[in-house]
Amino acid sequence: MKTNPIQTTEMHTGGEPVRIIENGYPDIQGQTILDKRRYARKNLDHLRKFLMFEPRGHFDMYGVIPVTPDHPDAHIAVLFIHNEGYSTMCGHAVIALGRYAIDKGLVKAVEPETQVNIQCPCGLVKVFVEIATGRVRFESVPAFVFARQKLVSTTNYGPVEVDIAYGGAFYAFVSADQFGLDVRQSKTNDLIDAAEQISEAVKSQITITHPDDPDLGYLYGTILTDGNDEFSDQPTANVCVFADAQVDRSPTGSGVTARIAIQYKKGQIKKGQDRLFESVTGAQFSAKAVTETTCGPHKAVTVEVSGIAHYTGTSSFVYEEGDDIGAGFLLS
Which tens digit of pLDDT belongs to each residue from 27-72? 999 999 999 999 999 999 999 999 999 999 999 999 999 999 999 9
- Closest alpha carbon to 121 in 29, 245, 38: 38
The pLDDT of residue 332: 77
pLDDT in tens, 136-175: 999 999 999 999 999 999 999 999 999 999 999 999 999 9
How does DSSP classify residue 30? Answer: -
The helix (run of H) or strand (run of E) holding residue 22 is: strand 16-23
Task: Please state, in angstroms and rounded to a whole number, the distance separating the CA atoms of residues 63 and 82.
Answer: 6
Q: Which residues pair with 278 in a beta bridge?
A: 237, 284
**Whether residue 225 has pLDDT greater than 80:** yes
**Whether residue 258 has pLDDT greater than 90:** yes
The pLDDT of residue 4: 86
pLDDT, mean of residues 214-225: 98
User: Under a CB-based contact definition with an 8 Å cutoff, are residues 250 and 284 in contact?
Assistant: no
Looking only at the bridges linking them, the beta strands covering 236-242 and 246-247 are antiparallel
- Closest alpha carbon to 165 in 180, 184, 177, 149: 149
The pLDDT of residue 2: 61
- Any idea how long the chain is? 332
Supply the mean pLDDT for the chain: 97
pLDDT, mean of residues 300-307: 98
pLDDT, mean of residues 261-268: 98
Task: Please state, in angstroms and rounded to a whole number, the distance separating the CA atoms of residues 46 and 60.
Answer: 17
Sequential DSSP letters for 296-328: TTEEEEEEEEEE-EEEEEEEEE--BTT-SGGG-
User: Under a CB-based contact definition with an 8 Å cutoff, are residues 301 and 289 in contact?
Assistant: yes
User: Under a CB-based contact definition with an 8 Å cutoff, are residues 225 and 259 in contact?
Assistant: yes
**Whether residue 324 has pLDDT greater than 90:** yes
The rounded percent of the chain whose pLDDT value lies above 90 is: 98
pLDDT, mean of residues 127-132: 98
pLDDT, mean of residues 281-304: 98
User: Under a CB-based contact definition with an 8 Å cutoff, are residues 140 and 122 in contact?
Assistant: no
How does DSSP classify residue 182? Answer: -
Task: Please state, in angstroms and rounded to a whole number, the distance separating the CA atoms of residues 27 and 4.
Answer: 14
152-161 long-range Cβ contacts below 8 angstroms, 24+ apart = 152/198, 152/201, 152/202, 152/205, 152/206, 153/201, 153/205, 154/197, 154/198, 154/200, 154/201, 155/197, 155/200, 155/201, 156/197, 157/194, 157/197, 160/198, 160/201
The rounded percent of the chain whose pLDDT value lies above 70 is: 99
- Closest alpha carbon to 196 in 255, 258, 151, 247: 247
Q: In one letter, which amino acid is 254? A: S
Q: Which residues pair with 21 in a beta bridge?
A: 8
- Closest alpha carbon to 164 in 235, 218, 120: 218
Rg of the Cα trace of the chain? Answer: 19
3-class secondary-structure state, position 48: helix
Delineate the domains of the chain, giving CATH numbers in brackets. 6-135+311-327 (3.10.310.10), 143-305 (3.10.310.10)
The helix (run of H) or strand (run of E) holding residue 283 is: none
- The set of catalytic residues is 90
